Amino acid sequence: MITQQEAYETMMSEARPMGSERVGLDDALGRVLAEDVRSDMDMPPFIKSAMDGYACRRKDLANKLKVVEVLKAGAVPGKTIATNECAKIMTGGMVPEGADCVIVVEEVNVLDTDTVQFNGESTRDNVCQKGEDMQVDDVVLTAGIRLGPQHIAMMASVGCVSPQVVCRPRVGILATGDELVEPDVIPDVSQIRTSNSHQLIAQVRACGAIPTYYGIARDTKESLDAAVKTAMSDCDLVLLTGGVSMGDLDLVPGIMKANKVNILFEEIAVQPGKPTTFGVSEEAACVGLPGSPVAAFTQFELLVKPFIFSMMWHEYRPGHLRLPMAENRTRARALRENWFPFKLTDDGAVLPCEFHGSAHVESICEAYGLAHMPVGMSTIEAGALVSVRIL
């Protein structure tokens, strides 16, 4: 059995990069940048006032100053500041030639309509130098960044109105199991609703990929095979849930093989998620996730999410922290590594969520992240540091 880390490395080495396309600036949120963005100008593009005040010469600070013009932001100065002169200036305004500082309004006495005097002891320059934030042709964003609102602002300020971004992978989702019904159906006595299908649709969408749902395949070779064939031919990646364990009707790995999927692993030494199966065909990559909802959720986080991001040229690096345990945690066996959902206490400690087993979806609803117990560790004491991953 391979380790979680080996499973991760195997999958990452199989991620096939998507192509790229141009999109409008306001459609780029959540997409991954496919090429570096460079600045088309210096920023600020001129010497800019950082304050509301009066632009003048530092060596005249002790003198009365004549106000020669008023400069709003956006105005071009018409005058050069000479000895004992100043220009009233607003934040963001162009500092006139001759001036080397801006004295702030709060430190100025207005003597009459066009005469002022500095009343402070000393002043900073209160100006932003041309090009101090960035210069023309500087790389301001690098390929591989996943674009958030702040990156959209960056692109807007350098005139990058149609960024080149990575195409979104199409990800097929297929639930398997005779016991499953869709959420809008009231289950019979022996049935449950498929929560994994919709969890996975949401998880895929949250990564910025395009989910396509193929419904519930029944636990027969015919039903599974037909659905897998369609999904593999439509999609870049296919996610199945259920049917990967050791039961008589756990047909998924066999169906994957029958569809020319080269299986690269069928078991991981982890809890939850041991039966997670992965393989690739010429058409698409294929992951068989466990049916147990918490296991499907966890293995999506640990494996599928970084894989999807890697297809989109983005190196996914979740926040990894070491935090103290709020209480003791013990497990019966420590043959596999373990990831468990936890809440954060008010003083920043790791409190395991109430957990009844891998079908207990509620346990992940309140989770702040997943915490880690390595192989061989059956107890963590309160106060000991534990590795966690923020969701």
Q: Contact letters (x/-) for ligand AMP, 133-172, by CB under 6 A? A: ----------------------------------------
- Alpha-helical regions (H) of 207-319: 221-234, 252-258, 293-299, 305-311
Nearest to 256 by CA among 280, 230, 223: 280
Q: Is residue 195 near ligand AMP by the rule CB under 6 A?
A: yes
Among 253, 290, 341, 352, binds ligand AMP (CB under 6 A): 290
Cis check: omega of the bond before 44, within 30 degrees of 0: yes
Q: Is residue 242 near Mg ion by the rule CB under 5 A?
A: yes
Among 98, 169, 172, 293, binds ligand AMP (CB under 6 A): 293
Distance CA 376, CA 338 (A): 10
Q: Is residue 276 near ligand AMP by the rule CB under 6 A?
A: no
Looking at the Cβ atoms of 250 and 337, the one nearer to ligand AMP is 250
Rg of the chain on CA atoms, in Å: 30
Q: Where in 167-226 is the site for Mg ion (CB under 5 A)?
A: 177
CB 358, CB 292: distance < 8 Å: yes
Distance CA 299, CA 191 (A): 24
Looking at the Cβ atoms of 4 and 197, the one nearer to ligand AMP is 197
Distances (CA, A) of 176 to 205, 254, 274, 281, 379: 21, 14, 17, 20, 35
Looking at the Cβ atoms of 20 and 276, the one nearer to Mg ion is 276
Q: Contact letters (x/-) for ligand AMP, 232-271, by CB under 6 A? A: ---------xxxxx-x--x---------------------
Q: Is residue 53 near ligand AMP by the rule CB under 6 A?
A: no
CB atoms within 10 A of CB 5: 12
Among 7, 89, 127, 175, binds ligand AMP (CB under 6 A): 175
277 — phi, psi (to 5°)? -120, 140
Vertex 152: Cα angle to 148 and 156 (nearest 5): 170
CB atoms within 10 A of CB 385: 12
Distance CA 119, CA 211 (A): 65
Q: Is residue 180 near ligand AMP by the rule CB under 6 A?
A: yes
Using CB under 6 A as the binding criterion, the count of chain residues that bind ligand AMP stands at: 21
Q: Is residue 272 near ligand AMP by the rule CB under 6 A?
A: no
Q: Is residue 299 near ligand AMP by the rule CB under 6 A?
A: no
Looking at the Cβ atoms of 169 and 293, the one nearer to ligand AMP is 293
CB of 192 vs ligand AMP, minimal distance in Å: 6
Encoded tokens for 344: 């954060």
Q: Where in 332-371 is the site for ligand AMP (CB under 6 A)?
A: 359
Among 77, 98, 172, 177, binds ligand AMP (CB under 6 A): 177
**Rule CB under 6 A: which residues touch ligand AMP?**
175, 177, 179-180, 192, 194-197, 241-245, 247, 250, 290-293, 359
